[in-house]
């Protein structure tokens, strides 16, 4: 992705990203001239800008320096007269945009406009530029020496800090589009700006979403990490311009999901300086690529079974499930999954695909109560099925035991520990008494053919629609193989089963109709990391690095063997989703190394399954 791409590019770790389709849609980028007018009069701004802007520079500079949580500002009226509306009409009438989606973002973006010029030898490009005179005038004016000088004054920079490099594009966020938390640090970027081209009437409101979210940060190890939720938001007001200095470890921001069925269009760009900033090693991009270290593994430490449970190293199959094991398991698990013949079928499928989904996993005595409670939680919190999440960052935290956790550049979700919330208490009992028991560990080994489980770690999570997600990052990079076991609960029919209820035979099952399409997000995706290449900054429609995508489904246990170099994430849950995704996410540490310390033969090719959504 060239330097003129959206700010989302700065958060792409050194891994392949979620494969998505590339399509074109109505609107897109700009064709401004590629050079600034060096002969511009330095005493006055170009006429395209508001006549009152020059006089307001001193007060804007003072406001910028005092702004929290880091210096930022906004010009309320950037362009004079009808120029903003004219640019909007030129864009709507002439340009196209490409759809982009990954774990980090979902939006439409144009081509690299920094290289577009009306003097281009390409007749199509020159013709396109001729159809957008106001847009081209804006580009020339934005990067003129006069306006760059004003930006330096606004942002308290020494004169001539900013170079004449042109770097901008037009972005379109439609309903459901978003861009997660990042700091914009790539190369020599110095000042980030966003010019909002939203419709003048009706005015954009908080309920429409698409707000610029600004995050405070706290010290974590040698770096700063953004809090889980923003401390300030800015409405994308028509004909306004937001701006801030690009700073590693500090300039954390995001674009909230657009909730309204109306376009949020903007010109996103950067002013560059002559050198990279200090502290660039702590930038979002580099921290997402970093393997271990700096305390940024978001998954926590492994736990071990108590002394005397299982073998000396952990739990092994050792002859299969005993009567005592079955006594424990039958209190929770659908007995269909506990017969020898069905366990053999599950094992055969898992050894072939390295993953399997077990629908209707828990007994109705457990699942029916959980179903009732997840529905009531979303109803009480006003979340799901298109309800706006504009001011609900703490939704669900009022129930004791649930807490919003971050850091936002890697994740946001509610996690349950100890508390008196009934749903959380039930899920914790399942985690403590079933999913981390020695009997269940033996059940997993019987179902997968793996040799020994030596430890486990995991969380009880809630991903709220319009708010929550995890991001693939190298803090959770698998340096040795693990078995993921995720028990998921979502609003939906949940009638899809992996067995024939009449015969008890395993026959396979489809995704829940309300979640299977992936439009509302909430699916868990496995992708291959690439240690050799640098950051993947370019959107590639032919990228085949997605290994497996598992839709959210009610009362479904997903098992996946994740081998070396694989990462996973839960895609941002959109506000259009039926409700929250609740799950108990466990990662089981395997003893799959031989005596020499080299990794031994593994069962199957980790993560390559046939149940992908995308």
Q: Give the tens place of pLDDT for each residue, 174-213.
A: 999 999 999 999 999 999 999 999 999 999 999 999 999 9
Residues 223 and 369 in one domain: no
**Residue 161 within any structural domain of the chain:** yes
More confident residue, 528 or 599: 528
Q: What is the DSSP letter of 306?
A: P
Question: Cα torsion at 561, 564, 566, 570 (round to 10°)?
Answer: 50
Q: What is the pLDDT of residue 399?
A: 95
User: What residue numbers bound the domain in which 521 lies?
Assistant: 315-386+401-530+546-590
CA distance 290 to 274: 26
- Total domain count, the chain: 2
Q: What is the pLDDT of residue 24?
A: 35
Residues 63 and 211 in one domain: yes
Tokens for 376, please give them: 């009531």
Q: What is the pLDDT of residue 556?
A: 95
Give yes or no for residue 427 having a pLDDT over 60: yes
CATH number at residue 487: 3.60.130.20
Which of 281-285, 336-340, 378-382 shows the lowest per-residue confidence on average (mean pLDDT)? 281-285
Which of 20-24, 65-69, 113-117, 152-156 shows the lowest per-residue confidence on average (mean pLDDT)? 20-24
Residues 240 and 139 in one domain: yes
Handedness of CA 541, 542, 545, 551 (dihedral sign): positive
**Residue 501 within any structural domain of the chain:** yes
What percent of the chain is modeled with pLDDT above 70? 76
Question: Cα torsion at 125, 131, 136, 138 (round to 10°)?
Answer: -150
**Residue 13 within any structural domain of the chain:** no
More confident residue, 41 or 577: 577
Residues 349 and 202 in one domain: no
Q: What is the pLDDT of residue 457?
A: 92
Q: What is the pLDDT of residue 97?
A: 86
Residues 71 and 188 in one domain: yes
CB-facing half-sphere around the CA of 157: CA atoms within 13 A: 21
CA distance 116 to 143: 14
Confidence at 22, pLDDT banded by 50, 70, 90: very low
**Residue 477 within any structural domain of the chain:** yes
Give yes or no for residue 298 having a pLDDT over 50: yes
Residues 234 and 160 in one domain: yes
Last residue of a domain, one of 289, 323, 339: 289
Residues 6+ apart with CB under 8 A from 39: none
Q: Give the tens place of pLDDT for each residue, 518-557.
A: 678 999 999 887 654 333 333 333 444 567 889 999 999 9
Q: Give the tens place of pLDDT for each residue, 545-590.
A: 567 889 999 999 999 999 877 888 999 999 999 999 999 999 999 9
CA 258 to each of CA 88, 263, 386, 390: distance values in angstroms, whole numbers, following the listed order: 19, 8, 11, 9
Residues 281 and 320 in one domain: no
Which of 6-15, 166-175, 205-214, 307-316 shows the lowest per-residue confidence on average (mean pLDDT)? 6-15
Residues 405 and 270 in one domain: no
Q: What is the pLDDT of residue 302?
A: 73
Q: What is the pLDDT of residue 61?
A: 97
**Residue 392 within any structural domain of the chain:** no
More confident residue, 469 or 598: 469
**Residue 535 within any structural domain of the chain:** no
CA-based R_g, the chain, Å: 26
Annotate 450-519 with DSSP letters as a single string. Answer: --EEEEEEEEEEEE-TTT-EE---GGG--SS-EEEEEEEEESS-----SB-TTT--B------TTTTT-T
Annotate 7-76 with DSSP letters as a single string. Answer: GGGGG--SB--------EES-------SS--TT--TTS--TTB-TTHHHHHHHHHHHHHH-SSS-EEEES
Residues 284 and 378 in one domain: no
Residues 283 and 428 in one domain: no
Phi, psi of 456 (to 5 degrees): -155, 155
**Chain mean pLDDT for the chain:** 82
Residues 210 and 331 in one domain: no
CA distance 441 to 456: 10
Is residue 238 within 8 A of residue 85, CB to CB? The reply is no
Handedness of CA 589, 591, 597, 601 (dihedral sign): negative
Q: What is the pLDDT of residue 599?
A: 41
Which of 269-283, 379-393, 457-471, 523-537 shows the lowest per-residue confidence on average (mean pLDDT)? 523-537
**Residue 328 within any structural domain of the chain:** yes
CA distance 517 to 599: 37
More confident residue, 167 or 314: 167
Which of 240-249, 371-380, 480-489, 594-603 shows the lowest per-residue confidence on average (mean pLDDT)? 594-603
What is the CB neighbour count within 10 angstroms for residue 356? 25
Q: What is the pLDDT of residue 533?
A: 39
Query: What mean pLDDT do residues 395-399 have?
Result: 95
Give yes or no for residue 598 having a pLDDT over 70: no
**Residue 598 within any structural domain of the chain:** no
Tokens for 338, please give them: 């506990």
Confidence at 233, pLDDT banded by 50, 70, 90: very high
Greatest mean pLDDT among 4-13, 285-294, 314-323 lies in: 314-323
Query: What mean pLDDT do residues 586-596 have?
Result: 70
Closest CA to 293 of 500, 24, 80, 473: 473
CATH number at residue 118: 2.60.120.620
User: Interhelix angle for 422-429 vs 364-381, to 10°?
Assistant: 140
Q: What is the pLDDT of residue 607?
A: 34
Q: What is the pLDDT of residue 577?
A: 92
Last residue of a domain, one of 244, 272, 289: 289
CA 356 to each of CA 206, 283, 468, 486, 557: distance values in angstroms, whole numbers, following the listed order: 42, 37, 25, 11, 8
Q: Give the tens place of pLDDT for each residue, 127-177.
A: 888 999 999 999 999 999 999 999 999 999 999 999 999 999 999 999 999
Residues 6+ apart with CB under 8 A from 54: 44, 45, 150
Annotate 527-538 with DSSP letters as a single string. Answer: EEB-SSS----S
Q: What is the pLDDT of residue 117?
A: 83
Residues 240 and 346 in one domain: no
Q: What is the pLDDT of residue 119?
A: 83
Give yes or no for residue 602 having a pLDDT over 80: no
């Amino acid at each position: 992705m060239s330097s003129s791409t959206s700010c989302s590019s700065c958060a792409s770790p050194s891994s392949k990203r979620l494969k998505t389709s590339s399509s074109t849609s109505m609107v897109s980028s700009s064709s401004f001239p590629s050079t600034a007018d060096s002969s511009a009069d330095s005493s006055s701004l170009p006429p395209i800008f508001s006549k009152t802007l020059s006089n307001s520079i001193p007060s804007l500079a003072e406001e910028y320096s005092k702004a929290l949580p880091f210096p930022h500002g906004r010009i309320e009226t950037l362009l004079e007269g009808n120029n903003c509306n004219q640019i909007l009409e030129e864009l709507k009438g002439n340009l196209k945009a490409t759809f982009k989606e990954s774990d980090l973002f979902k939006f439409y973006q144009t081509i690299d406009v920094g290289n577009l010029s009306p003097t281009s030898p390409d007749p199509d490009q020159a013709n396109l530029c001729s159809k957008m005179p106001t847009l081209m005038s804006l580009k020339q004016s934005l990067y003129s020496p006069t306006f760059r000088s004003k930006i330096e004054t606004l942002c308290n920079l020494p004169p001539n800090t900013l170079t004449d490099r042109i770097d901008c594009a037009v972005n379109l966020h439609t309903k459901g589009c978003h861009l997660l938390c990042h700091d914009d640090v790539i190369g020599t970027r110095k000042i980030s700006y966003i010019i909002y081209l939203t419709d003048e009437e009706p005015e954009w409101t908080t309920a429409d979403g698409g707000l610029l979210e600004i995050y405070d940060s706290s010290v974590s190890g040698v770096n700063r990490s953004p809090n889980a939720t923003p401390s300030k938001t800015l409405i994308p007001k028509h004909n306004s311009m937001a701006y801030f200095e690009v700073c590693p470890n500090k300039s954390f921001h995001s674009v909230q999901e657009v909730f309204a069925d109306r376009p949020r269009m903007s010109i996103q760009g950067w002013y560059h300086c002559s050198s990279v900033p200090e502290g660039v090693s702590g930038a979002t991009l580099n921290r997402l690529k970093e393997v271990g270290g700096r305390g940024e593994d978001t998954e926590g430490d492994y736990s071990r079974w108590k002394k005397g449970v299982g073998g000396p190293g952990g739990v092994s199959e050792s002859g299969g499930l005993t009567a005592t094991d079955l006594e424990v398991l039958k209190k929770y698990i659908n007995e269909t999954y506990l017969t020898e013949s069905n366990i053999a079928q599950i094992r055969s499928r898992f050894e072939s695909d390295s993953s399997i989904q077990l629908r209707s996993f828990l007994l109705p005595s457990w699942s029916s109560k959980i179903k009732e409670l997840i529905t009531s939680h979303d109803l009480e919190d006003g979340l799901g099925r298109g309800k706006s999440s504009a001011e609900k960052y703490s939704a669900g935290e009022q129930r004791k035991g649930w807490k919003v956790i971050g850091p936002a550049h890697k994740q946001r979700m509610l996690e349950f520990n100890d508390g008196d919330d009934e749903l959380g208490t039930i899920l914790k009992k399942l985690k403590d008494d079933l999913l981390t028991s020695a009997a269940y560990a033996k059940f997993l080994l019987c179902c997968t053919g793996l040799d020994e489980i030596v430890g486990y770690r995991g969380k009880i999570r809630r991903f709220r629609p319009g708010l929550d997600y995890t991001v693939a990052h190298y803090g959770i990079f698998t340096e040795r193989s693990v078995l993921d076991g995720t028990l998921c609960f979502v609003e939906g029919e949940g009638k899809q089963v992996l067995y024939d209820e009449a015969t008890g035979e395993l026959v396979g099952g489809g995704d829940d109709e309300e979640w299977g399409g992936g439009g509302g997000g909430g699916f868990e995706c496995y992708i291959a990391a690439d240690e050799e290449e640098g950051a993947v900054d370019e959107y590639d429609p032919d990228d085949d690095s997605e290994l497996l995508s598992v839709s959210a489904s009610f009362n479904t246990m997903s098992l996946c063997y994740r081998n070396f170099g694989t990462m996973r994430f839960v895609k941002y849950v959109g506000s259009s989703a039926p409700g929250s995704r609740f799950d108990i996410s466990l990662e089981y540490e395997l003893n799959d190394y031989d005596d020499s310390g080299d990794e031994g033969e593994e069962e199957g090719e980790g993560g390559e399954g046939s149940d992908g959504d995308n």
